[in-house]
Amino acid sequence: MILYNFEKTILFIGIFFSLSFVNQATAQIELSGTEIPSYLEINSKDTLQLFGAGAREILWLDVYLVVIYFNESDYNSEELILSNKTMGLRLYMKSSLVSKKRIKMAIERGFNKSTQGNYKKYKTRIEQMIDSFEEEIYKNDVIDLIYFPSEETRFYKNNQYLGTIQGADFKQALFGIWLSEHAVDKDLKEDLLKGI
């Protein structure tokens, strides 16, 4: 009888953890009317977990959402910027005001702020990244920036690969737009760091 109850307990625990895993794998959060997946599959083998998310607001309007995917949970902003581990940053375009030209200007301003005026060092690589977006950027488009330990940042638009930029320094300046001491939006930075 004791053995039977023990087996039932083990079976119950196994089912509980299996269901918990399924729920975790399919779980999402909602931000500004957008379903944000808890995991980002970056290739057939690797998955990143949701670290934090927030909205970039201008005049009370959500222009875009920023979501960070990273498989650690206790990193501060500087550690995230300097980390050489695989990391993803996803941008959800939320406003019809977004365009390729405006995104380019925002990234240039963000780089200038993130690098404290050292924009020229990154100018060629920024232009290379922006120019790879051959088509216009519209509301509801999704842009992924995925950094790999090989010191390359790959970028995608609506899951379509667009190109790769080399350099850990580029990643640090790019992620610094939203995470550095000179981030473009302090409230957004706090939202990204407080976790989910």
Kindly report, residue by residue over 83-123, the tens digit of the pLDDT. Answer: 999 999 999 999 888 888 888 888 888 998 898 888 888 98
Q: 3-class SS at 82?
A: helix
Q: How far apart are CA 70 and CA 80, in angstroms?
A: 9
Treating both helix axes as pointing N-terminal to C-terminal, what angle do 168-179 and 186-193 enclose, rounded to 10 degrees? 110
Cα 70 to its chain centre, rounded Å, is 8
As beta bridge partners, residue 47 has 41
List, in order of start, the domains of the chain with CATH numbers.
30-193 (3.50.70.10)
pLDDT of 1 reads 53
Least trusted range by pLDDT, from 22-31, 160-169, 177-186: 22-31
CA dist 167 and 74 (Å) reads: 25
R_g over Cα of the chain: 19
Higher pLDDT: 151 or 33? It is: 151
pLDDT digits (tens, 9 = 90+) for 166-185: 999 999 999 999 999 999 99
C-alpha distances (whole Å) from 36 to each of 15, 77, 99, 132 are 27, 21, 22, 25
Look at residue 5 and tell me whether its pLDDT is greater than 50.
no
pTM (predicted TM-score)? 0.81
Distance from C-alpha of 178 to C-alpha of 180, rounded to nearest angstrom: 6
